[in-house]
Amino acid sequence: MPHLHIEKFKEIEFPAHHNGVDFHFIAQNANHEDEKLIGVEYEGDQFFLLVKEEKNRSLLKTDKLTRPASIYNVHRALNAYAKLAELNVIASNVPESEKNVHLQEVNALKKIEYFAKSFPTDKEVRIEVGFGSGRHLLHQAAQNPEILFIGIEIHRPSIEQVLKQISIQKLDNLLVLDYDARLFMELVPSNIVGKIYVHFPVPWDKKPHRRVISTTFIEEARRILKVGGTLELRTDSENYYAYSYETFIAFNKTVLHINKNKDIAVTSKYEERWKKMEKNIYDVTMINEEESSPLVIEGDFYFDKIESSLDSLLALHGSTHRFEGGFIHFERVYKIENGVMLRISMGSFDRPEHLYVIIDNNEARYYPTLPLKSRSNLKAHSVLKEVLHG
């Protein structure tokens, strides 16, 4: 992760602007004096820089929760703050280089708001969850120019690698998203997806609740798939294969095709390595046979005026509020000018969303973006409003 080790952190006067980067405000962790967050904005990306005070020095890096998909934007913000505050940098892994020419040309990287506002429905859609090196995704997009491909990945170097290839190969039918695929599925319109690829997901043997394949994921897949559309799982893990098969077959009505060591047109470097090791590769393909009802989700994320006292808001730190099907957990509380900022996790238990809520001058808003408009998030928002109003 990009970071700067500095001799001593210096706070600037907010708001400020330097080298194209806007610095909006600073937030102090109310329970840990060694942590601060700096709200920044560059090229439309809003995110936090994280300050951690260490023994005899400080660490400046990006906040994991809000960091943008573009590593270049992170580099730009870190270097801009260091120069503006005249920090004495002891060690750095942040380059001063300009953005790669291929990344300047491509606009395939989209934010979740792009899909939430107006999901593209003018052609068949295919989705790959966790595309890794992108070999399979790029091959499919190049071979099927009439189909829109959406690749979902949270590993930043993989994202930039694929974006470069999109530019080099001049692909105009491939979009990339840095987001939780389980949440993304909830906003895809019904009956428009031809294929969903889940190739070699992390097995999460010790944390099975984090697995991509779940009853809820399969339910969403069945809703968004066209009649005849498929969900294709490919894994080298016997545990994941067995777990997934049991999850698929538990549905009252389902059509599955099972393959072992199936040859496909393009493989990843890891799959090539596993084949040399004579590891087995399992394929589970679910075929959707039913048309689903249109997706309808009603509600908003509006806040009423906040009347709670500053002390009661600060006291929310560490508390959890449960409701049927989900929860809200107040992970951290920060002090800001004229108010507080809350770091929360909210929504359903198996796919919660993590974000911030800023409360200043008795007004509340989510930061840096609104939650995904899902049923569980809307219910969580309703409960959050009750909590914030005492």
Give DSSP secondary structure letters for 22-51.
EEEEEEEESS-TTEEEEEEEETTEEEEEEE
Helices then strands, counting H and E runs in the chain, come out as: 11, 20
Q: What is the pLDDT of residues 320-375, one digit of tens each?
A: 999 998 999 999 999 999 899 999 999 988 889 999 999 998 999 999 999 998 88
Mean confidence (pLDDT) of the chain:
92
SS3 287: strand
SS3 97: coil
Tokens for 270? 């890891």
pLDDT at 235: 93
Q: Which amino acid would we find at residue 205? A: D
- Which residues have a Cβ under 8 Å from the Cβ of 172 and sit 6 or more positions away? none
Quick one: DSSP state of residue 336?
Answer: E
* Unique residue bearing structure tokens 């399969």: 218
Distance separating alpha carbons of residues 381 and 304, to the nearest angstrom: 12
pLDDT at 25: 97
Tokens for 171? 């692909």
| Cross-strand pairs, 202 | none
Top pLDDT among 105 and 348 is at 348
Strand arrangement, sheet containing 225-235: 109-110, 174-177, 148-152, 125-129, 193-199, 225-235, 282-287, 255-260
Tokens for 44? 């439309």
In this structure, of 134-138, 222-226, 295-299, 340-344, the range with the lowest mean pLDDT score is: 295-299
Q: What is the pLDDT of residues 52-84, one digit of tens each?
A: 999 889 999 999 999 988 888 999 999 999 999
Distance separating alpha carbons of residues 207 and 10, to the nearest angstrom: 40
pLDDT at 365: 96
pLDDT at 118: 87
Phi, psi dihedrals of residue 261, rounded to the nearest 5°: 55, 45
Distance separating alpha carbons of residues 128 and 315, to the nearest angstrom: 42
Segments in the chain forming alpha helices (H): 71-84, 101-105, 112-117, 135-143, 156-169, 181-184, 215-224, 238-249, 269-276, 310-314, 375-388
Tokens for 382? 């309703």
Top pLDDT among 103 and 32 is at 32
pLDDT at 335: 97
SS3 366: strand
pLDDT at 281: 92
Q: What is the mean pLDDT of residues 218-235?
A: 97
* Other beta carbons less than 10 A from residue 150's beta carbon: 26
Answer whether residue 102 shows pLDDT above 70: no
- Which residues have a Cβ under 8 Å from the Cβ of 320 and sit 6 or more positions away? 327, 328, 329, 330
Of the chain, the percentage scoring pLDDT greater than 70 comes to: 98
Of the chain, the percentage scoring pLDDT greater than 90 comes to: 76
Distance separating alpha carbons of residues 150 and 160, to the nearest angstrom: 15
SS3 81: helix
Dihedral of CA 125/129/131/136: which sign? negative
| Cross-strand pairs, 260 | 282
Q: Which is nearest to 137 in space by CA: 196, 56, 212, 201?
A: 196
pTM, entire model: 0.85
pLDDT at 103: 64
Q: Which is nearest to 343 in space by CA: 18, 106, 37, 17?
A: 37
Answer whether residue 379 shows pLDDT above 90: yes
pLDDT at 101: 66
Distance separating alpha carbons of residues 155 and 133, to the nearest angstrom: 10
pLDDT at 210: 85
Q: Cβ(18)–Cβ(80) under 8 Å?
A: yes
- Which residues have a Cβ under 8 Å from the Cβ of 293 and sit 6 or more positions away? 190
pLDDT at 329: 97
Q: What is the mean pLDDT of residues 254-272?
A: 85
State how far the alpha carbon of 69 is from the alpha carbons of 111, 276, 285, 347, 377, in Å: 9, 34, 31, 23, 23
